[in-house]
Amino acid sequence: MKNSEQLVLVTGADGFIGSHLVEMLHSEGFKVRALAQYNSFNNWGWLEDIGCKEEIEILTGDIRDPFFCNEICEGVNIIFHLAALIAIPYSYIAPQSYVETNITGTLNICKAALDQSVSRVIHTSTSEVYGSAQYVPIDEKHSLQAQSPYSASKIGADSMAMSFYNSLELPLTIVRPFNTYGPRQSARAFIPTIISQIANNEPKLKLGDTSPTRDLNFVLDTCKGFLDLANCDEAIGEVVNIGSNFEISVGEVASLIKAEMKSDIEIIADQKRIRPKKSEVTRLWCDNNKINKLTGFEPSYDLLTGLKETINWFQQPLNLVKYKSDIYNI
């Protein structure tokens, strides 16, 4: 079936990765139905900033409601399910909301997809489900470790999604992206935190623990991985990592950003930003062999190129003003 004949639903389309995915799907010729979180202001999140918003269908609602989910899946060929609560610090104080959105919301989307005979479901996981690496690089067989309520909720959501494949033959793939970064990312993530504080000329650069390592992926590479897997029948019923097969510490990234922005700002440890000891994921390094073998996927952006694009975006005044760099955003 041609792309132009397929209706694609993106949940979480108003968010960071979701908004970029919507743009990519539109550019590939798909008909796009984009779901934003319902709010009384009828604000569409980052969808407000995309150039194709007049050419797609935008809905607002809540995936916690099964009746709503069933309605929005009508006539849909492919679902990219990204809607989730993702902030780790907030999950410490509001864990029930993570269960309701991430697990129950996934249940509702999968049941609606089954009832509406959706041809393909791409469910979004996270590298946080692996916890601190027991070995590197981390492949899809690595054990799962719930080191935060957020991680626990995503492990539950992944299990719920896969149960629909195993027991009800829902054509589903679990996509497990490692740390994605780029324009529009939330200030709760460390790269926007670093860039926005420097760009706003804060006196000190406040960070949490700078020793953990992460496998960083530019957002357009992550979105390309989503599309490649949606077009790969061999990925049905599989869990697949998306990553770069490269690790770097938070501190090393901060140094790269400081150099690119020509800043000599002093980094200080902010105790509010440090996770509980057993909750900190100390090392993440993706084994991306599986996605490469299935689809031929290779990242297009090296880290320096991706950071430069991200910095350039944040330095635009109309973008930077949306970030409160003087406030710790949990």
What pLDDT score was predicted for residue 38?
97
Phi, psi of 248 (to 5 degrees): -150, 145
CATH topology of 3-180+218-242 equal to that of 182-214+247-284+301-320?
A: no
CB atoms within 10 A of CB 12: 25
Q: Does domain 3-180+218-242 have CATH number 3.40.50.720?
A: yes
What pLDDT score was predicted for residue 329?
76
What pLDDT score was predicted for residue 1?
86
Sign (positive/negative) of CA torsion 174, 28, 185, 132?
A: positive
Q: Does domain 182-214+247-284+301-320 have CATH number 3.40.50.1100?
A: no
What pLDDT score was predicted for residue 188?
87
- Kindly give the parts of the chain with pLDDT less than 70: none
What pLDDT score was predicted for residue 326?
85
Domain boundaries, the chain: 3-180+218-242, 182-214+247-284+301-320
What pLDDT score was predicted for residue 330?
77
What pLDDT score was predicted for residue 129?
98
Structure confidence by residue, pLDDT tens digits, 62-74: 999 999 999 999 9
